[in-house]
Amino acid sequence: MTVHLHEGDLSGDVFAPGPIAVDSETMGLIPGRDRLCLVQLSDGQGDEHLVRFRPGDYAAPNLKAVLADPARLKLYHFARFDLAVIRHYLGVDAAPVFCTKIASKLVRTYTDRHGLKDLLKETVGIEISKQQQSSDWGADSLSDAQKEYAASDVRYLHRAHAVLVQRLEREGRTAMAEACFQFLPTRAALDLAGWAEHDIFAHL
C-alpha cells in the first residue's frame, strides 16, 4: 500500500473504474468557518491519494471531475459532513453516495457503536487508530502519522461496503438505505443553508 500526497489537485486519472472511497479533513466541524484541508480517496486497489489544499485554493479540476462523476459511486463514513464541506469549498455534489455509517445504523441495530473504528473492527476485522483525528490539518506540512491516519479512513471502506451491502439485503433494508443515500446531498445542502440543527420533518 502506498500513500500519495498531492498538492492542490490529483495528478491526473489515477483511479481504476468502480466505486471510490472518499473522506475529508478540516479545521473543525462547521463548514462555513472551518476550512477544508484535505480530501483523501481510494479505489480499493491498495493505494490512497491525499489532496491537500492551501487556504483559498480549491480549483482542483481533476479532483472535481472524479467527485462529480455521476457514474462513480462514492463510499463515505458519515457522508452528510463530507458532502457538505466538499460542496462548500469545491462546489460539486460528490454523489452518488453510499454511507457506511447509515448502513451500519440500519443493520447493526444490536449496538450503538457506529464509528468507523468499531465498524471496521467488527465487519472486516481491522483495527485502525483515531489518534490523529483532532490534529492540526492546516499545518504547513503533514506528519507521517497524519498521512497514515487520513489514508486509513478510506483504505478499508470498500471491504466494509461489501459486508454492509450483504447485510442490508439480508435484513430487507436495501431500498430504505438507498432512499437515505439519495437524500444525503439535500441533507448536506440543508446543513449549509442553516438547518443543520433543525429537523424539518418534526411537528414543531
Domain assignment present for 30: yes
The CATH number of the domain holding residue 88 is 3.30.420.10
Domain assignment present for 107: yes
Domain assignment present for 200: no
The three grid cell numbers given for residue 15, joined into one nine-digit string: 483511479
Domain assignment present for 202: no
Judged against a pLDDT cut of 90, whether residue 204 lies above it is answered with: no
Domain assignment present for 201: no
Q: Residues 55-80: pLDDT tens digits?
A: 999 999 999 999 999 999 999 999 99
Q: How many domains does the chain have?
A: 1
Q: If pLDDT is split at 50, 70 and 90, which confidence band does 1 have?
A: confident
Cis previous bond, 96, omega within 30: yes
Judged against a pLDDT cut of 90, whether residue 32 lies above it is answered with: no
Domain assignment present for 141: yes
Determine the average pLDDT of the residues in 137-164: 96
Structural domain of residue 171, as residue ranges? 3-195
Selection from 79, 69, 36 nearest residue 55 by Cα: 36
Mean of pLDDT over the chain = 96
Judged against a pLDDT cut of 90, whether residue 132 lies above it is answered with: no
Query: Which SS3 state, helix, strand or coil, does residue 198 take?
Result: coil
Residue with cell 459532513: 81
Domain assignment present for 80: yes
